[in-house]
Amino acid sequence: MLLWGRICIEKAFGQKPEAVKVASITFLLILLLMLLAGCEKEGVSDKPNFILIILDATRPDHLGCYGYERPTSPTIDDLAAKGVRYEDAITQAPWTKASFAGMLTSLACFQHGITDWTSVLPDTFVLLPEVLAEGGYATACVINMVGMDGRFGMLRGFQHQSVAGKYDRNATATTDKVLELVRTLPRPFFILAHYFDTHHPYNPPKEFVELITGDMTRVESCTKSEGGSERKSQDLKKLQSGKIAHDIVLYDACIRYVDTEIGRIIETLKQMGIYETTLLIVTADHGEAFGEHGTTGHGRTLYDEELKVPLILHLPLRFTKPTAVTGQVRLIDLAPSLLELARIPIPSSWEGVSILPPRKKMHKPSGKRLIPPHIAITETSMRPGVLPLKSARTSAWKVILEPATGLMEVYNLKNDPLETTNLLSVMPAPADSLAELLERIPGSSFAGWRIAFVGTSSACTFRAHVEAEGGGKLVHLKKHAYRGHLVARKENDGTLTVESQPAGINLLSLDCIPQDAELAFRFDVEGKGARNIFVGRNGRRAIGTTFKLNPMEATGLPEEFTNYRKSKQSGVFIWWLPGRRELRQRTSYHLSPQEKKRLKALGYVQ
């Protein structure tokens, strides 16, 4: 370019040395300014601002850009129409703290170890805001959940932190704090904005309910007419469905409220001239159930209504045309994607990978990953009286495992997206490979003995005495679920004594060395309670007697267990579980006519 400029100048000014000199200097100054302008533009695009907007408990199928009919999300829809929308984004946990931990550490739950609200994130993990801060970013968060404040190690790397109680700050106040940070932080910045308004109990401003329904009185009358105690038992199902429908209206209105607040952020970015250089990410920590599988809320199941989340990226200078990504992605992949945009190396300890639309990679992530990128591993929390679940999911298949009981569910998500037909009885090969992967995840092994006490604490007190025969030894005692009173201890002579007043489920597991040794059991019960003990798949024993069992006599979850746990009838259950593959080989499945009909419709049985 310099040579070309010199030739043009000499042709223009001929043999006039002074004119050539002045023109040459001018040309060089213009060229330098152009280069500086180019470097500035490249620097901006390499280091965009990041605003990560997390809507608590928000389902993608309640947003217009994902096909919802109600006008819940015009602002978010506009971002999706101009940016990147991921159609199948999966959280790593259906509850807030573990999901946030996954997003910030790019690790699955079994790796970062956040299993309940008292869990502390070890300082050995590398968090996204720490990496961004080292890369020159100003980092800040606005969190509406005190369970994630500094004492739990969740917010390391955020130089500015604003943490409030989950009901102490509405969407308007949250946005006010976000905008204060946008105006005052040096650039580039990373701001995490957590909106809690979409979490139960849904309490939107009245005007947003009217935007959703057009008539607030209709919602109020629905509450009054369907909430009376005079309803008869046969109307209970109708009452529940009416209550859920009412909650959904309020839920949708909360989404519209937060959507409007996101509009305020966008308007401020435009006024400040940084809209095109700021990446807006809209997502959720988890979804929300509305009775699809018999539950409402979140945190207890691993069905898609709780696992699927919206994920939208909007950066005008980077994403110049709307893109819909159809393959499954994971929230643990978000942090590596931000680092790629910021041209910062991805830590080798992270499990996630960049999910940005295809382009020439500036660097390849290093390190060995435990989970293939196309598989999402999800886990529920450790809640009192609730048995934890683990699942492995691809775009086409999902396997859900309850390690404490050995119960497993298998779904073909392409043919059965609502997860209505459990294909465990046929176990297609793709699902079998997922189950094998899942069994290698820590805490997923379910071999060994189980003792479960089911009922209400006021019904009865169970006492148990267990010992191994023939020189055997009881090992690996663990409480899988605990609600009500439960004391279990190994005595000096190696026997196990248990006292249980279950308010739901109290469940213990233990192993024996050698594995095939007989165990001697004795159970007593005070007050009103079960008179029988359910053993293995079909066996029974009497309360108050001593009996012996070997593993083969107790194999398989008692058939009555599922009904008892739902109704909280008082009962004692004993069973032994081999490994997953051995259990499949020794188990016969009895399909109901309805199950046979569904499997036939899906082409799995003739």
Query: CA–CA separation, 568 vs 281, rounded Å?
Result: 44
pLDDT at 544 > cutoff 60: yes
Q: How is 109-140 classified by DSSP, letter by letter?
A: HHHH---STT----TTSPPHHHHHHHTT-EEE
| Average pLDDT rounded to a whole number, residues 315-328 | 93
The pLDDT of residue 220 is 44
Which residues are CB-neighbours of 279 under 8 A, at least 6 positions away?
Answer: 48, 49, 50, 51, 313, 314, 315, 318, 338, 341
HEC readout, 21-48: HHHHHHHHHHHHHHHHHHHHHHHHHHCC
pLDDT of residue 586: 40
What is the per-residue pLDDT across 141-192, written as a single tens digit (0 to 9) for each? 999 988 887 788 999 999 999 999 888 999 999 999 999 999 999 999 999 9
Q: What is the separation, in whole angstroms, between the first and last Cα of the chain?
A: 75
What mean pLDDT comes out for the span 459-478? 90
Give the model's pLDDT for residue 118.
Answer: 84
Tens-place pLDDT, residues 60-88 = 999 999 999 999 999 999 999 999 999 99
- Residue 302: name the closest of 282, 285, 284, 287 by CA: 287
Return the higher-pLDDT residue of 26 and 428. Answer: 428
Across 245-252, average pLDDT = 94
**Of 242, 251, 149, 131, which Cα lies nearest the Cα of 194?**
149
User: What's the mean per-residue pLDDT of the chain?
Assistant: 85
Who has greater pLDDT, 78 or 406?
Answer: 78
**Owner of token pair 């790019």:** 106
With 70 as the cut, is the pLDDT of residue 36 above it? no
Q: What is the mean pLDDT of residues 336-351?
A: 95
Rounded to 10 deg, the angle between the 2-13 and 17-46 helix axes is 150
The C-alpha atoms of residue 470 and residue 527 are separated, in whole angstroms, by 34
Does position 379 have pLDDT exceeding 90, yes or no? yes
- Judge whether 258 and 54 are in contact, CB under 8 Å: no
Q: At what angle do helices 236-272 and 206-213 cross, to 10 degrees?
A: 110
CA angle 368, 369, 371 (to 5 degrees): 160
Nearest to 198 by CA among 56, 79, 83: 56
State residue 40's pLDDT score.
36
Q: State the pLDDT at residue 3.
A: 44
Q: How far is CA 580 from the centre of its chain?
A: 25
Question: What are the backbone angles phi and psi of residue 164, rounded to the nearest 5°?
Answer: -125, 160
Ordered alpha helix ranges (H), 308-458:
334-341, 429-439
216 confidence band (pLDDT: 50, 70, 90)? very low
Tokens 């298998």, residue located = 410
Choice among 137-141, 389-393, 542-546, 598-602 with the minimum mean pLDDT: 598-602
> Are 265 and 175 in contact, with CB atoms under 8 Å apart?
yes
pTM attached to this predicted model: 0.83
What's the CA gap between 91 and 300, in Å, rounded?
14
Q: How far is CA 361 from CA 301, 327, 339, in A?
A: 37, 19, 12
pLDDT in tens, 37-49: 443 333 344 699 9
Which residues, including other chains, have CB under 8 Å from residue 318's CB and lie 6 or more apart? 45, 48, 279, 341
The span from the CA of 539 to the CA of 558, in Å, is 8
